[in-house]
Structure 1
Amino acid sequence: MAERDAGCQALEARLRRWEDGQALRGLLMRGWRALDHRDWDAWIAHWAEDAVFEFGPWGETRGRRAIRERVEEAEADYPTMQHHILNLHVEVEGDRATGIGYMWFVAVTAPGRTGTPYAMGGPYDWEFRRGADGRWLVTRQRLGLWWTSGEDTGDRFAAPPGAAGGLTP
């Protein structure tokens, strides 16, 4: 009987980690799709109040409100955007989790189908925690900038002179 109980407990733990992993993937997919639709409230709701956002060219931004303002301002000039998360992997340990993936961001720099596309890519590195209500929240996001293509009108994502792109390969 004890072996059966231990087996059931192990299975329940594996199922819980799988469900948490699915919840984290869903959080990122819903949140980053909200960016494409400029639904800033939906996007920032996935972040903890004390979250930290690190982006190679910008350095570090602390706090949910400051993160929203920084990203909303940077993406204001792009009429159409697509935020892609590639090769996503999450690891769950209790009420904490980490994730890695790659960003592929594509935006149109002028209204209409003939606008010039701007693209960039690099690695994501996330930290999450489960909130008191059971929902997962982003507590830290590190995003490196490894490449760009096209013109970043307004230099919204440009690195200050001498700054590194972050999360070196």
Structure 2
Amino acid sequence: MTSLEERLKRLEDRDAIHQLFVDYGRHLDSGDINAYAALFTEDGEVMLGPLGRTQGRDNIRALMGKVLANRVGSSYHVISSPRVEIDGDRATSEVMWTVIQRDPDGKPRLTSLGRHVDQLRRESGVWRIAERRGYVDLPQRLPTVNADTHQVD
């Protein structure tokens, strides 16, 4: 492969990995636990702070099914600041996340901020999460700020 081809492949890999992160948030927000679980390798592992640790795509699906069944209102995951290091069919990454939730009363609320540290693996040409460690950097249920009055609830 030429240097230009290698560089193009690297950009394509970065784009595919970025899309993986975007899909992660979208599938959680839409409640599509099957699509969410498909983002992980069959032997994938998640360690998500207070949710604990689980391994295997079926267990990940079951865990998130329970989490989403208890969700109140709707959520919006914002994924940012991706840092990705690719080495062949494996990659490491760290992304920041922000979760905004719309409570049943309709008010948007910034609920948490944190980061995911991942081990990724390309399988049959598709990048998947092999291991995800989640860290909450700011506490849940942060106050609501009224966008019009700038008052804190």
Question: By percentage of residues, which structure has more strand?
Answer: 2
Give the alignment partner of residue 128 of structure 1, picking from 117, 120, 127. Answer: 120
Give the alignment partner of residue 89 of structure 1, picking from 68, 83, 88. Answer: 83
Cα deviation 1:87-142 (Å, max 9, x = unaligned):
112121110011111121122342x514x7360111211111111x2111110111
Q: State TM-score, norm by structure 2.
A: 0.83
| Aligned counterpart, 2:94 | 100
Give distance in 1, aligned partners of 2:103 and 2:139: 14
Residue 105 of structure 1 aligns to which amino acid in structure 2? V
How much has 1:22 moved relative to structure 2? Answer: 0.3
Matched, 1:70 2:63: yes
Residue 85 of structure 1 aligns to which amino acid in structure 2? I
| Aligned counterpart, 2:148 | none
Q: Is the 8 A contact 1:57 1:145 kept in 2?
A: no
The 5 A counterparts of 1:19-34 are 19-34=12-27
Give distance in 2, aligned partners of 1:69 and 1:108: 24
Give distance in 2, aligned partners of 1:74 and 1:89: 27
Aligned length: 141
Q: How big is the alpha-carbon RMSD for the aligned residues of Structure 1 and Structure 2?
A: 1.8
Q: State TM-score, norm by structure 1.
A: 0.75
Q: What is the identity percentage for the equivalent residue pairs of Structure 1 and Structure 2?
A: 29
**Bigger Rg, which one:** 1
| Aligned counterpart, 1:138 | 129
Q: Which runs of 5+ in 1 are unaligned?
A: 1-7, 152-169
Q: Which runs of 5+ in 2 are unaligned?
A: 143-153
| Aligned counterpart, 2:2 | 9
Q: Is the 8 A contact 1:83 1:104 kept in 2?
A: yes
Give distance in 2, aligned partners of 1:81 and 1:150: 13
